Chain A
Amino acid sequence: MTLELLEGHPVHRLASRYYDRDLRIQPVRHDPLYASTLLRSPTHPPLAVGETIADLSGPVFGHLKPGPLDNDLIGNFASGGLALGERIIIHGTVQDQNGRPVPETLIEIWQANAGGRYRHVRDGYLAPLDPNFSGCGRCLTDRDGRYTFKTIRPGPYPFKNGGCAWRPSHIHFSVFGATFTQRLVTQAYFEGDPLIPLCPIANTIKDPRALRTLVATLDMSAAIEFDALAYRFDIVLRGRHATFFENRTEGV
């Protein structure tokens, strides 16, 4: 492989460095309060590295045409009825640290039903399955980085952690961003849930301000009359340092 051949990659010249991930706002990896981390957290700190293929590019899903019900979890598994529970909209924006919207990026969500049970072959919790609810949704952000899902508010559920441990109501979010460096998997909690301060998983994030950014807030302006309450959950992915390439300004 010669260098001339390699130099034909316009995407490489466009890429500029991302801000380093601020590990102080991230969850700790090893946390005695969350038992599953004990044998699953590497003992070496994550190694700083220069540019990787994650900075250069990432998977694109613009060709993916999500179905009309992919972001409607009340309807996308309906078999003769609708999902049980408190009907909600969860919506927001995806932007980078420089405040630029992230358009056409794939968001996937998964969640328990109103009773706190997941539709998963491995979940055996007492609460029954809802025949009309899968807990699986996805959508692409629009050109302004906005997304919206219609769903039901998931119930809390207990989990094995040694002792009486309960998850607050939460929705799992997976977001891609423009390059793999921006990849994010996280969880959205609900404003006012008294289980949040008690949850060993939520509290792997030690910075209270950072944890607050994972709490979706009641947003009556987006509620639908006689249909659904609304919660707002905005997402911020890593941003890039400013640089100029091919007459385009990147970053601030």
Chain B
Amino acid sequence: MLPETPAQTAGPYVHIGTFPYAAGLTIGWNARLHELVRDKEPGEHIEINGMIYDGGNAPVTDAMIELWQADTNGGFHRSSFPGWGRAVSDFTTGEWTFRTVRPGPVLRRDGSVMAPHIMLAIFARGVNGHLSTLMYFPDDPDANSRDPILSALEPARRVTLVAKRQPNAEIHSYRFDIFLQGDSETVFFNI
């Protein structure tokens, strides 16, 4: 078996290659990778936003965040829905945003069912290999309590993976702040 190529930090200029518009460039990807849905996309449209905080409680303002999720029926690549997106922490505030659909539950090969959730991966200076976490929804505590990953966590850590509903007149909106260190350190997985 060959050894895997090791990771290195994406560095502070990750945007040049992965989100050139944010770096001030006009080539490569366009600006809208954080919007996975157009108006007619089936499913419930949602918005997710948040910040990433470092161990000194300062917002991380140079991260690139990738999103990976199932479609509204819990499937992948069965429609035009890409399931994948990218966002950038605002260079001043650190705020990032995605617009997507609420994913359906996903069946594992062992027959267990994962509650609706979204995978996020953080790439940034000082992060030597990307950090992977899972965001669950607060609206369905029953499904969450049966989720094989979430239910295996102790309650104090489990709460770090559940987004908070926030008021928004136009769209169902969720807040998911990520803490790299500290008392409320987010659970990161060896994915």
Contact = CB atoms under 8 A, between A and B. Distances in A.
B70 A53 contact: yes
Interface string B104-134: 1111111001100101010111111111101
Contact of B8 (A15, A53, A201, A252): A201
Contacts of A44: 185, 187-188
Nearest to B8: A187
Given A11-B76, A44-B188, A214-B6, A51 B108 contact: yes
By DSSP majority rule, is chain A's interface helix, strand, loop, or mixed?
Answer: loop
A27 B128 CA distance: 6
Nearest to B108: A51
Interface of B: 1-18, 20, 23-25, 27-28, 54-56, 58, 60, 62, 66, 68-70, 73-77, 82-84, 91, 104-110, 113-114, 117, 119, 121, 123-132, 134, 148-149, 153, 180-181, 185-191
A5 interface: yes
B129 A1 contact: no
A30 to B, nearest CB: 9
Contacts of B91: 121-122
A45 to B, nearest CB: 8
A185 B24 contact: no
Contacts of A137: 17
Given A46-B188, A110-B14, 19 more contacts: A3-B113, A29-B127, A40-B54, A41-B180, A42-B188, A43-B185, A47-B187, A47-B188, A54-B119, A56-B76, A119-B25, A134-B16, A136-B25, A172-B17, A180-B191, A187-B9, A204-B9, A209-B3, A214-B8
Q: Most A CB atoms within 10 A — which of B2, B16, B23?
A: B16
